[in-house]
Amino acid sequence: MHTLTSKLMATVFGLLVISATPALADVPIPDEWLGIWELEVNAYDCVTNQLIFSSTSLDTVCPGEVFVDPDPSEFTLECTGSADSDSYTLHCEGSQEVSPGCTVNFSYDANGTLDGNTQNSTSTTNISYTGDCPMIPDFCQRVEITGKRIAGTPNSCEGTPVESRLWSTVKSLYR
C-alpha cells in the first residue's frame, strides 16, 4: 500500500510519501491499511495513454504513518485529504515562479480503495507552465497501483524497510 506513489517531473517536485512526519492536515493511514504489500505499479501519459513505466515492489505500512505532502522541497502546496478503513482521497495544488516570468502550476489527485487484502489506487499529477517558459512542456501522468497484502504488520516496524515513495508513484523517478 505504501507505494501509491507519484514520481514525476525532474526539476521541481518531490513525491508523495508516507512517513511519521505529519502533513496533509495530519491524515493518518488507517490501521486496516497496515501490513506488507506487494505492488504492481503502472504509469501512463495522461494525453496519449502510453505506458511510461511498469514495476513491482514490496512496501510496508507501519502504525502511526500519515500522508505527506508530495513536495518535500520549498515549493508550497495546499493539501487536503481523508482516509478511512476502505478508501482514501488526497488533493494537492500550488503554483510558484520558477524563473522570472515563468510560473509552474502543480496539481495532484489520488484515490484508493481497500477490499480485504487487495487495494487499488489511481493518482494523477499535472504540471503546467504559464508565462515566459520557452521549451518547458506541460506534463501529466496517471499512476495505477494494484496491491496485495502478503503479510500483516511486523511485530516491530522499527528498522523495517519502508519505501519513501507512496500513495502516488512515479514522480521522483524522473529526477
Q: Is residue 11's pLDDT more than 60?
A: no
What is the residue extent of each domain of the chain? 17-174
pLDDT exceeds cutoff 80 at 171: no
Has residue 79 got a pLDDT over 60? yes
In the predicted model, what is the mean pLDDT of residues 8-17?
26
Question: What is the per-residue pLDDT for 135?
Answer: 86
Sheet of strand 35-45: strand arrangement: 51-61, 35-45, 139-151, 118-131, 102-115, 87-99, 78-83
Q: What is the rounded distance in angstroms from the CA atom of residue 95 to the CA atom of residue 117?
A: 37
Whether the predicted pLDDT of 121 surpasses 90: yes
Each residue's pLDDT tens digit, 20-63: 223 455 678 899 999 999 999 999 999 999 999 999 999 899 98
**Beta bridge pairs of residue 56:** 40
Name the most confidently modeled range: 14-18, 20-24, 49-53, 78-82.
49-53
Query: pLDDT band at 155, cuts 50/70/90?
Result: confident
pLDDT in tens, 91-102: 988 899 989 999
Q: If you average pLDDT over residues 14-25, what whole number do you get?
A: 33
What is the pTM (predicted TM-score) of this model? Answer: 0.74
Collect all residues with Cβ–Cβ distance below 8 Å to 44 and sequence separation of at least 6: 50, 51, 52, 141, 142, 143, 144
